[in-house]
A and B are shown apart, each in its own frame.
Chain A
């Protein structure tokens, strides 16, 4: 079945450092890919998404490119801030008729001042 694998955390960075969180997926169809963020004590909220191969999603300085050839959707940000400290979830949603979103295990990011 479909699955999402994320790099394990926690990831600890200093402010203004470059961030990469790896995400790879397995899917039988042509999924849409998402990154969600969860701030402490809150529910998940969409950070960015891409619906087809080579699409780049971007929001708040974060970017991720849908790479079909490597089945990847890595999250990047050029300069992190303390306020980016959160848990990041990679997810896929099946386009072939299903209604299910598959989430990765989440990667916790700590950014130090």
Chain B
């Protein structure tokens, strides 16, 4: 099993550009989520999904879109990048979401100039 994979590992964008961060898991997990990690702030939930076709907002959803067309994939789209979106982004999955262990990808380090 590859677990949770994320691409790219690093990305530099200019303000206003759009891009998609890819996330895939091969564990047949129902629950997937996106977090951003900023210094001194821990991880903050951006969006999550409890199954294919179902998504919901987390703590900091503005400026991001998600979709979940398959169980395996959960891409995160930045519509118009801003310097405030410079961060490390982690995708995670878990079997059910309720009190379950989350499995994290290796992260994408994004810089917006």
Contact = CB atoms under 8 A, between A and B. Distances in A.
Contacts of A45: 103-104
A100 B45 contact: yes
Q: Which 4 A-B pairs have the closest CB atoms?
A: A43-B104, A32-B99, A99-B97, A103-B42
Q: Bin the interface of chain B by size.
A: 20 to 34
Interface in A39-98: 41-46, 49, 51, 89, 93, 95
A15 to B, nearest CB: 27
B106 A43 contact: yes
Interface of B: 4, 31, 33, 35, 40-45, 48, 50, 56, 58-59, 90, 92, 97-107
Interface of A: 4, 32, 34, 36, 41-46, 49, 51, 89, 93, 95, 99-101, 103-106
Contacts of B48: 99-100
